[in-house]
A = this chain, B = another copy of it.
Amino acid sequence: MSQQMPFKELMKVLGLGAVAFVLGVEGLNWLMRRLRDSRGPLKEVLFFPSPQVCVEHLFIRHKHFPCACPLPHGVETSFSRLLVHLLSARMSLDLCVFSFSHMELSRAILLLHKRGVVVRVVTDRDYMTITGSQIGVLRKAGICVRHEMSSAVHMHHKFALVDGKKLITGSLNWTLTAVQSNKENVMVTEEPELVGPYQQEFQKLWEANDPANHKPQCTNGQLNIKTCKDR
């Protein structure tokens, strides 16, 4: 014989259950946070060359049909991890790179720019104009690029700052040869003691190479100075 629970009693049990559920979830969250904190900030090391795999799914969200390209699918590589970290930018991407001719990396930067992420690029004066360089493509898309002003100096860094808190740095230039052939390393970290100095260095280079602070140079009657607004 079943006894019916009075309405008030039922509400009390349900209320207590809800409180217990919320507390349980909060407790679990707290435990997860503690566990994450005990491991410290993100530290990941990627080595290259990286095998060629399909990375289409990283560019196209909510794709309802599988990619038909002949490359292996569903495989995680150093290059796909690099793309994941770059595409995780929500607010800003500060990029300081010597040589940039990799098409997929260029596609990633253009996609971030399209999504409204503020992208700033500092690059080398000589290498930005070599065949295959993507610097012109970025500028045409409206991305602000500055280059090392001195012709006697190479801007040889290869680092990126994602949302001002994730540092991607190493030996890897953003070229196809570097990604697919060379022995290279890239380190990804959110360690504030490491991220901070690179942020300061980026800001220093950004300001030092502001074309507005440099005298325009006249070449064949034309000014070859470019401001950010000119791209």
Contacts and interface: CB of A to CB of B under 8 A. Distances in A.
Interface of A: 40, 43, 45, 47, 49, 98, 148, 152-159, 169-172, 177-178, 181-185, 187, 189, 191, 193-194, 197-198, 201, 205
Given A43-B191, A43-B194, A194-B45, A157 B169 contact: no
Nearest to A48: B156
B45 A197 contact: yes
Given A45-B194, A45-B198, A198-B45, A185 B159 contact: yes
A83 to B, nearest CB: 19
Given A197-B47, A201-B47, A185 B171 contact: no
A197 B171 CA distance: 15
Task: Please give the count of copies of this chain that the complex contains.
Answer: 2
Contacts of A193: 40, 43
Given A43-B194, A45-B194, A171 B157 contact: yes
